[in-house]
Structure 1
Amino acid sequence: MNKQVGLRGQYMGKVFVLIAMVVMLGFGYILPVNNVSASAPPPAAQSYYMDTVDTVTLYDMGYQKGLADYKKAGTQNSMVILDFGGQSSPTSLSLFGMPDASLTQVAAAVEAYSRGYWKGTASDSLSTVHIIVGTNNSYTVTYEGGQNFANMIDDINSHNNMNSYSDQVEVDGGNDMEPGYDPASTTIEWVNGYDSVNSYSLYNYGSADGCYHTNLNSGTINYSCNNGWTYKDIQYISWGASPAWPLPEVYDNSGDMAEQWQNIAKYSAVTAAKPMRFSASLTQYAACTSTGCHSELDNTPSQGWSQLYSELYSDSKTKSATNYPILSTDIRWH
């Protein structure tokens, strides 16, 4: 392998991050903002609802992404969700409109994407892609399924580490966890299953369906959401559980979804004493453009990012979240 080692974070130091934040805030220090401005959203990466685990296809997807980053000036850092659908069983994923795939097949596909990206970046050894391998909580949602999913993420990273792809490709688990899909109790069991064996982080790129969405609450009330869920439940699967990071859907033009997540962040800061950090905003503009969607749910990536940033910045209890880079990713159908 002739690539120079680049920067690679695995977001595995969240506990240390939280301790550092408490210490720094206690002494009045503020971490610098890195390339984040309410008036200048970052470029959006392209994420996908996957209908295939064909390794040739995934290699080409990764290669084209790497080549595009190579051709851009400067160092590129982006977050890409590869959503393979819900778990049809604890050992398989449903894909979208295609036959089920085993977790072993999904792992091979992501490994191929990783190799493609690494090759596509050529002499650029510093640009990185953070791949979120995704499922959702709408099918078979079990503790065992969470464990198996975490083990798959470990296997992918072991492969990438051995082949130097991890120099530029970070891989973590993800789940589109939505209150309307499944009861909180079973979704939390899945997260706990993931947490019981994981070595890598878990990103919740879901919604906060039915949650209170004004900016007037104090952060002390555990409001109800759809399907029996509460703020506390969403905070736990997104940040309270040790591997969890929030990557919120911000689809709607009205800004309600951004307000919901700002309220959950406020609840986390005030009641759970755990100020949230947000990895990215997620929009579905490309999916809406290609297949259509509700007319109020087609935020562009810049609109979704700006709504989330502005809501977080607007309140002293959540403003600290904007001291860190918040990326942008937009999903489409493959």
Structure 2
Amino acid sequence: MTTTPALRALTTAAAALTLAATPTAAHARPDYPGHTTSHYITATGTPDDTDHAHDIGCAAASTGQNGLRILFLGTQEHPDRLRHPGTTAQTTTPRIPIGDTIDIAAAYSAGFTRCNDSDTTTQLALGVNNKNDGRIPGRRAGRQWARIVDTAADRADTDHLTVTGAIDAEPSWSGPAWARAWAAAYTAATDRRLYAANSAGGCPTPGHTSTTCNNGWTLADIHYLATGAAPTVHALPQIYRTDGIQARQWANVSAWGLRHHDQPLRAAGALSQHTACTQRGGCTRTHNTPRQSWTQLRDALDNHAPAPTPRLPYASDMRWR
């Protein structure tokens, strides 16, 4: 059959449309990377702390899953103490010297090294929260945590494990000024990465014109704590809710950052609490699996944030102990 110029033009146009509809490698949607386990550490100041850290480090290496793992150690208190995660200043649970974190990191690293038969690699992020009921200014707390992370890295870094920092910053736990001061001081004092495993409580979702979040925070504060403070800050937001609203909130944060600072969310992945919910219960509609959390975030960023999401390398799931 003879191909007419008109038919050739139609064929060429159809091919162009097909190519345009096919994602290029640079803009392909990332695939789920598998998940690691992160831990709320309820340290007691006894040898059990390092024994436990060694055991969970060994268990992490044995999975063969590369990725980010967070140890959340709780709240910084004046002068140099840590209080258990999930508690207030009135709790009678044990406090530990903040320097015990260094021993815990070293023990985790030793366990990870001993059981690492498959060249598994990890970033071990030592984390605290932004509760400001510990009588310590935000700037001093951020500098203090940077020193802890750097000192722990000196002892615990190996060819397969790198120590970094983490913050669980939530609007309900402090005013934005305290949290901003913490992040500014941490990033000024160390080049070690800071993983922001934060919430965007009360923030608007795409399509809303409001920029206000809970407790006097704004989208500007949320973006600063998760990306804007420094190039070393990477977001691993809490995507707990099964209805996907948290993922959409973070997509809106990313869109705000691009619009106002040419800086979308520097997203590293998503944090879930499925195992922690199984252990303790009380998680009404906030028990996403790691895959659900990660997928919700990827899809929300793709659907609601103007910039593409070329990489989303981590998913991690919280557990107690």
TM-score, reference length from structure 1: 0.80
What is residue 62 of structure 1 aligned with on the other side? 57
| Aligned partner of residue 260 in structure 1, secondary structure | helix
Spell out the pairing of 1:279-290 with structure 2 (5 A cutoff): 279-290=268-279
Larger relative contact order, structure 1 or 2 (CA cutoff 8 Å, min sep 6) = 1
State percent identity of aligned pairs. 28
1:122-160: CA deviations, max 9, x gaps?
3x33x2111111110113352111101001110111123
Q: How does 1:60-209 map to 2 (within 5 A)?
A: 60-69=55-64, 76-89=65-78, 91-96=80-85, 98-122=93-117, 124-125=118-119, 127-138=120-131, 139-140=133-134, 141-161=137-157, 165=158, 167-209=159-201
Deviates more, 1:230-239 or 1:289-298: 289-298
Question: 1:316/1:206 Cα in 2 relative to 1: closer, same or farther (>3 Å)?
Answer: closer
Counterpart in the other structure of 1:216: 207
Assess if the C-alpha contact under 8 Å between 1:176 and 1:205 holds in 2.
Answer: yes
Question: Equivalences for 1:258-297 in 2 at 5 Å?
Answer: 258-297=247-286
**Alpha carbons of structure 1 residues 148 and 316: separation in structure 2 relative to 1, 3 Å:** closer
Q: Which residue of 2 aligns with 1:49?
A: 40
Compute the RMSD of aligned alpha carbons.
1.9
In structure 2, the gaps of 5 or more residues are: 1-23, 88-92
- Partners of 1:55 and 1:63 lie apart in 2 by 12
In 1, are the aligned partners of 2:197 and 2:235 still within 8 Å (CA)?
Answer: yes
Post-superposition offset of 1:89? 2.3
Q: Which whole-Å CA distance do the structure 2 matches of 1:114 and 1:325 have between them?
A: 25
Distance in 2, Cα, partners of 1:65 & 1:201: 21
For 2:73 and 2:184, the matched residues in 1 are separated by 21
Structure 1 residue runs of 4+, over 6 Å off?
Answer: none
Partner residue of 2:7? Answer: none
Matched residue pairs, number?
A: 284
TM-score of the two chains, using structure 2 as the length reference: 0.83
Superposition deviation, residue 106 in structure 1 = 0.8
Structure 2: distance between partners of 1:233 and 1:325? 22
Q: Name the residue aligned to 1:305.
A: 294
CA displacement at 1:68 relative to structure 2? 2.6
Structure 2: distance between partners of 1:272 and 1:261 = 16
Deviations 1:282-305 (A, max 9, x none): 111111111112311111111111
Corresponding position of 2:311:
324
Distance 1:200 1:253 in 2: 33
2:317 and 2:28 mapped to 1: Cα distance? Answer: 23
Q: 2:215 aligns with which of 210, 227, 232?
A: 227
Work out the CA distance in 1 between the residues paired with 2:227 and 2:268.
11
SS at match of 2:74: coil
The answer on whether the counterparts of 1:173 and 1:203 sit within 8 Å (CA) in structure 2 is: yes
Distance in 1 (alpha carbons) for counterparts of 2:313 and 2:210: 26
Larger C-alpha radius of gyration, 1 or 2? Answer: 2
CA distance in 1, matches of 2:102, 2:28: 35
User: SS of 2:76's equivalent?
Assistant: coil
Change beyond 3 A, Cα 1:249–1:152: same
Question: Bigger shift: 191-200 or 142-151?
Answer: 191-200
Q: Give the Cα separation in 1 of the matches to 2:26 and 2:223.
A: 23
Residue 264 of structure 1 deviates from its aligned partner by: 0.2
How many Å separate the matches in 2 of 1:81 and 1:90? 24
Unaligned runs of 5+ in 1: 1-28, 70-75
State the secondary structure of the residue aligned to 2:300: helix
Give the Å deviation of 1:196.
Answer: 2.3
Q: 1:316 to 1:207 in 2, by over 3 A?
A: closer
Q: Is the 8 A contact 1:222 1:231 kept in 2?
A: no
